[in-house]
């Protein structure tokens, strides 16, 4: 057959198949849209992170660590006058509106003398950033009034985010107390180039000068302080210059493992890794809707080819070879798949613009949504690939129709042999693994996803079949007509009910499952705190302040108080190996394993590095708190050995076991300890717990501070924080409820995003149902005509059709909701150690909604049958 003849055939085959083409396109477009939206948005986000890396870093090179930078760095910077540098000190502390007007520390701040109004005495956690030098080198710091930051901060000035002004009822010119010193509020900051996302902020931003911070004495021993160095290269410097400088800086650091050095050229590698990981997860959720849509394609193709069996037989009788017939229909399917995928791409490009609204403050930066050709190609490849994968089995079956059907219509395609069935099944399974691996960029994850999906689908199909058989056997003679008709339709031979139920059920499963996990998690976080759990933590209490702090705690009405000493230390040596070397080898391992399959391994590697180089907090206790359980070894059992008990997961991250020898640097003094026990900690008790518990007597005289947990009546935390802000301003109060509310707000958004994507699976399921209903259009027309001929009104006929679809939706909703709830309960109980409590809300709403949507879709797909005149339909018979 010539090319022209081939395309003429394609065009002829498409005639009169508008409905089918629409469903085919719809089934594919929904899933491809979800895939493209996820891939495109992630890609835009990564591009923005890479492009604006310098702005996001606010410098060419940035060094950060938890201890001050050594003088060698100063010397290095001073030796090269072309470099400009700024030092930043960051900590979380408390700011308060002073109770009484105190003398401002500068003569210029006359406004601070005024007695301050409603907010006087109120305090607030702030994220303090103290600047020594120019800030930022790149990007924009939006200030009001629009003056250089250094100018606003000079001479005891402070610049704060608008939320702080609101919460403490402050105005520009008012005084603000930090660490017991008064500062004058000179400006408001609304945007910072290097503040990536607001979701995890513990409080509003507050800027001071470095000199101001040092005057407060907040940076006491043991305070949680972050030290940053920003360096700007001369204009026009090559990216290699930044890398070279980073190397020199690393060499100048005495213990580089305790610092992180970033250059703009790296383009925020950690954030991009985070984006990658999120994309892989959401990509799989999106893929689910595409796979469900592909089931619809298999159905549409089967129905379409069933109506073409005669044509195929005639083709064969006229001398068309099976391969020519195959290529004819395959061409049709490829064209339709392209049309569906392209529609999906258009949908996805539109959806991308919705993502910022959904993800909100979770996003590190607001990306510029760009045209991402790779995301589009991914959508097209997955769309066309899956369509072909699912269309091939019915196509191959139809091609097998014998030419002799032209003589006897009753001759059907030969039933496929067992080998053919196995090969088809294998192809489908392997194809699914391939697309899932392509989407997850990991063979293991892809295989697990495909396996889990096939198993779930098989279970859903089994449940659907069982339910259908059960429902079919219900005595229905006395039921109202629409219900009787709907129930009878479930059992109609050849009705594609199981596929519709499974597809819709999968969608309901994702939505209900996600909602259930979300509810379980947030209710656990927000309201299910153990009754005896503390409501606030107090940190950075100096030993000599404890008596006064304790008195304030009692005055504020605390019902229970717990307090332990904390000794700050650094890990130096583990089993004879220097920690810096261990950290470096982990870095190398991670760099080598960039293409490593498992996220868990990578995460564990990162945790290990963090565990090695962080500021370690040690406590010493005679016996373990009640929420600790020894899992191996014995507590304080070896006389003559300085013992330490380590939390078991932390020990695993560090590679510690019973008998491991550790050397700590406690404020310059080496302390050797032996691991003699490992513990499991029930962190969710919210008690004070430590990774390291040292035997009493070893650290008693080391420099230390205290940490306390208190249980307060409602609102007591704020009162305590206000009181401490006035008396011991270096003590920071963390109200647990506030922190949990933030966490739960973040979880809510994540869960909403996943449910939103899961909703696409429901849409794909509805498209399948619509396709199935429309595939039986001829029969439906006949039924509608007969109903009308027998005297039924159009409304009554519509009620019949709507009930039939609603029953399918009801079954799908019920199966999906039950499966989703069971799965979510397992995830909560086994994966998160959260006891699951049944809440009927989400499953019931899901069942109701699925039934209602199915009824609507069923009606819409039957519209033509409903509108047709009875005589037309009966004549066509």
Partner 1 sequence: MSPIPPAIELRQLTKRLPSGDRMLTILDHVDLAIAPGEFVAILGPSGSGKSTLLGLAAGLDRPTSGEVRIDGVEIQDLSEDALARLRRAKVGFVFQAFQLLSNMTALENVLLPLELKGAPHPIARARALLDRVGLTERGHHYPAQLSGGEQQRVALARAFAPQPRILFADEPTGNLDGTTGARILDVLDELRAADQVTLVLVTHDASIAERADRRIYLRDGRVERVESR
Contacts with partner 1, residue ranges (CB under 8 A) = 1-2, 5, 8-9, 12-13, 15-16, 310-311, 313-324, 402-404, 406-409
Which of 454, 428, 466 minimizes the C-alpha distance to 506? Answer: 454
Looking at beta carbons only, is 313 or 583 nearer to partner 1?
313
CA distances from 121 to 95, 99, 104, 172, 722 (A): 10, 4, 16, 17, 6
> C-beta of 785: minimal distance to partner 1 in Å?
18
For residue 17, the minimal CB distance to partner 1 (Å) is: 8
CB of 392 to partner 1, least distance (A): 18
For residue 645, count other CB atoms closer than 10 A to its CB: 25
Given the complex with partner 1, which of 363 and 395 has the nearer CB atom? 395
Q: Which residues pair with 673 in a beta bridge?
A: 662
Number of C-beta neighbours around residue 188 at 10 A: 18
Choose between 5 and 547: whose C-beta lies nearer to partner 1. 5
Q: How far is the CB of 322 from partner 1 (least distance, A)?
A: 5
Tell me the HSE value of 528 on the side-chain side, using a 13 A CA sphere: 13
Q: Which is nearer to partner 1, 310 or 833 (CB)?
A: 310
Q: Which is nearer to partner 1, 23 or 315 (CB)?
A: 315
Minimum separation from the CB atom of position 784 to partner 1 (A): 21
Give strand ranges (E) for 100-224. Answer: 123-132, 142-144, 157-160, 175-178, 181-191, 205-209
Smaller CB separation from partner 1, 160 or 399: 399
Question: What does the DSSP assignment read for 123-153?
Answer: EEEEEEEEEES---SSS--EEES-S-HHHHH
- Whose Cβ is closer to partner 1: residue 15's or residue 418's? 15
Q: What does the alpha-carbon distance between residue 480 and residue 644 come to, in Å, rounded to a whole number?
A: 75
Question: Parallel, antiparallel, or unpaired for β 181-191 and 157-160?
Answer: parallel
From CA 703, how far away is CA 61, in angstroms rounded?
A: 34
What CA–CA distance (Å, rounded) separates 277 from 263? 22
How far apart are CB 870 and partner 1 at their closest, in Å?
20
Instruction: State the minimum distance, in angstroms, from the CB of residue 26 to partner 1.
Output: 22
Around Cβ 543, how many Cβ atoms within 10 Å? 11
Of residues 315 and 620, the one with the C-beta less far from partner 1: 315
**839-845: long-range contacts at Cβ-Cβ below 8 A with a sequence spacing of 24 or more?**
839/516, 839/519, 841/519, 842/512, 842/515, 842/516, 842/519, 842/817, 843/512, 843/516, 843/817, 843/818, 844/817
Closest CA to 212 of 154, 258, 251, 270: 154
Cα gap 877→25, rounded to integer Å: 30
Nearest to 425 by CA among 382, 464, 396, 384: 396
Taking the C-alpha atoms of residue 708 and residue 726, their distance in angstroms, rounded to an integer, is 18
CB closer to partner 1 out of 11 and 354 = 11
Residue closer to partner 1 by CB (options 8, 171) is 8
Kindly state the smallest distance separating residue 375's Cβ from partner 1, in Å: 37
Residue in 153, 229, 215 with CA at minimum distance from that of residue 185: 153
CB of 304 to partner 1, least distance (A): 11
How far is the C-alpha of 95 from the C-alpha of 160, rounded, in Å? 10
Smallest gap, in angstroms, from Cβ of residue 450 to partner 1?
A: 34
The whole-angstrom separation of Cα 276 and Cα 162 is 33
**Which residue(s) pair with 129 in the sheet?**
90, 207
Q: Name the residue nearer to partner 1 (CB basis): 420 or 443.
A: 420
Whole-number minimum distance, CB 421 to partner 1, in Å? Answer: 20
The β-bridge relationship of strands 705-711 and 225-232 is: unpaired
CB of 321 to partner 1, least distance (A): 4
CB of 9 to partner 1, least distance (A): 8
When the beta carbons of 455 and 871 are compared against partner 1, the nearer one is 871
Are 568 and 667 contacting, i.e. CB atoms less than 8 angstroms apart?
yes
Instruction: Please say which residue, 321 or 444, places its beta carbon nearer to partner 1.
Output: 321
Query: Do you find a cis peptide bond into 400, omega within 30 degrees of 0?
Result: no
Minimum distance of partner 1 from residue 313's CB (angstroms): 8
Counting every residue written for the chain, the total comes to: 877
Residue closer to partner 1 by CB (options 319, 493) is 319
Residue 332 CB, nearest approach to partner 1 (Å): 12
> Strand 225-232 and strand 84-96: pairing?
antiparallel
Task: Output 353 or 409, the one with its CB closest to partner 1.
Answer: 409
- Which residues have CB under 8 Å from 556's CB, separation 6+? 712, 716, 719, 720, 723
Cβ neighbours for 242, distance < 8 A, ≥ 6 positions apart: 60, 61, 233, 263, 264, 265
Task: Compute the least distance from the CB of residue 8 to partner 1, in Å.
Answer: 7
- Residue closer to partner 1 by CB (options 276, 324) is 324
CA–CA separation, 757 vs 775, rounded Å?
A: 27
Distance CA 38, CA 349 (A): 10
């Amino acid at each position: 057959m010539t090319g022209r003849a081939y395309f003429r055939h394609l065009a002829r085959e498409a005639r009169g198949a508008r409905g089918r083409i629409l469903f085919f396109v719809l089934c594919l477009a929904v899933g491809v849209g979800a895939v493209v939206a996820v891939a495109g948005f992630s890609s835009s986000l990564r591009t923005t992170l890479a492009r604006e890396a310098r702005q996001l870093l606010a410098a060419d090179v940035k060094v950060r660590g938890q201890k001050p930078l050594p003088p060698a760095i100063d010397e290095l910077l001073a030796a090269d006058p072309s470099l400009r540098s700024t030092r930043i000190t960051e900590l979380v502390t408390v700011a308060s509106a002073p109770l009484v007007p105190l003398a401002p520390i500068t003569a210029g701040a006359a406004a601070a003398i005024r007695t301050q109004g409603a907010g006087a005495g109120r305090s607030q956690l702030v994220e303090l950033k103290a600047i020594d030098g120019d800030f930022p080198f790149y990007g924009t710091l939006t200030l009001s009034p629009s003056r250089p930051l250094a100018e606003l901060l000079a001479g005891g000035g402070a610049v704060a985010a608008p939320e702080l002004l609101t919460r403490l009822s402050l105005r520009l010119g008012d005084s603000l107390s930090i660490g017991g010193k008064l500062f004058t509020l000179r400006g408001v900051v609304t945007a910072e180039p290097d503040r990536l996302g607001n979701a995890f902020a513990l409080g509003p931003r507050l800027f001071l000068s470095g000199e101001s911070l040092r005057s407060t004495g907040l940076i006491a021993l043991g305070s949680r302080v972050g030290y940053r160095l920003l360096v700007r290269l001369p204009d026009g410097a090559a990216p290699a210059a930044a890398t070279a400088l980073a190397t020199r800086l690393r060499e100048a650091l005495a213990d580089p493992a305790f610092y992180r050095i970033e250059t703009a050229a790296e383009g925020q590698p950690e954030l991009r890794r985070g984006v990658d990981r999120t994309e892989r997860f959401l990509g799989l959720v999106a893929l689910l809707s595409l796979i469900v849509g592909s089931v619809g394609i298999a159905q549409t193709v089967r129905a379409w080819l069933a109506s073409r069996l005669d044509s195929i037989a005639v083709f064969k009788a006229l001398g068309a070879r099976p391969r020519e017939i195959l290529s004819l229909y395959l061409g049709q399917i490829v064209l339709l798949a392209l049309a569906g995928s392209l529609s999906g791409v258009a949908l996805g490009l539109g959806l991308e613009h919705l993502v910022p609204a959904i993800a909100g403050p979770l996003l590190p930066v607001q990306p510029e949504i760009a045209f991402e050709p790779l995301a589009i190609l991914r959508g097209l490849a997955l769309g066309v690939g899956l369509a072909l994968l699912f269309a091939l089995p019915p196509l191959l079956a139809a091609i097998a129709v014998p030419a002799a059907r032209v003589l006897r219509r009753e001759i059907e395609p030969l039933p496929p042999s067992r080998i053919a069935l196995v090969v088809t099944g294998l192809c489908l399974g392997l194809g699914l693994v391939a697309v899932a691996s392509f989407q997850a960029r990991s063979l293991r994850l892809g295989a697990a996803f495909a396996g889990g999906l096939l198993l779930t689908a098989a279970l859903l199909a089994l449940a659907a079949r069982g339910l259908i058989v059960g429902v079919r056997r219900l005595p229905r003679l006395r039921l109202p007509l629409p219900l009787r008709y709907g129930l009878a339709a479930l059992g109609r031979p050849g009705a594609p009910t199981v596929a519709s139920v499974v597809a819709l059920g999968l969608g309901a499963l994702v939505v209900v499952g996600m909602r259930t996990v979300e509810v379980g998690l947030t209710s656990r976080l927000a309201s299910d705190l153990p009754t005896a759990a503390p409501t606030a933590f107090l940190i950075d209490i100096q030993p000599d302040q404890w008596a006064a702090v304790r008195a304030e705690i009692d005055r504020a009405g605390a019902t229970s108080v717990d307090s332990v000493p904390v000794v700050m230390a650094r890990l130096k040596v583990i089993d004879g190996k220097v920690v810096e070397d261990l950290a470096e080898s982990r870095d190398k391992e991670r760099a080598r394993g960039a293409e490593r399959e498992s996220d868990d391994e990578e995460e564990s590697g990162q945790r290990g590095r963090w565990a090695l180089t962080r500021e370690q907090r040690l406590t010493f206790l005679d016996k373990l708190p009640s929420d600790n359980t020894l899992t191996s070894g014995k507590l304080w059992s070896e006389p003559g050995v300085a013992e330490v008990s380590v939390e078991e997961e932390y020990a695993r991250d560090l590679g510690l076991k019973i008998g491991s020898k550790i050397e700590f640097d406690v404020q310059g003094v080496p302390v050797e300890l032996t691991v003699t026990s490992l513990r499991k900690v029930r962190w969710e008790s919210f008690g004070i717990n430590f990774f390291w518990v040292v035997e009493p007597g070893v650290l008693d005289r080391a420099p230390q501070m205290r940490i306390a947990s208190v249980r307060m009546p409602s609102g007591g935390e704020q009162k305590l924080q206000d009181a401490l802000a006035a008396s011991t301003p270096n003590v920071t109060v963390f109200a647990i409820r506030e922190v949990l509310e933030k966490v739960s707000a973040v979880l809510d958004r994540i869960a909403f995003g996943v449910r939103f994507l899961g909703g696409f699976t429901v849409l794909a399921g509805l498209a399948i149902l619509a396709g199935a209903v429309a595939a039986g259009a001829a029969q439906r027309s006949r039924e509608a005509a007969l109903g009308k001929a027998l005297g039924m009104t159009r409304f009554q006929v519509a009620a019949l059709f709507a009930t039939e679809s609603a029953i399918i939706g009801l079954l799908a909703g019920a199966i999906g909701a039950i499966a989703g709830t069971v799965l979510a309960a397992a995830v909560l109980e086994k994966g998160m150690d959260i006891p699951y409590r049944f809440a009927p809300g989400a499953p019931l709403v899901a069942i109701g909604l699925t039934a209602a949507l199915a009824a609507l879709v069923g009606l819409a797909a039957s519209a033509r049958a409903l509108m047709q005149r009875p005589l037309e339909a009966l004549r066509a018979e």
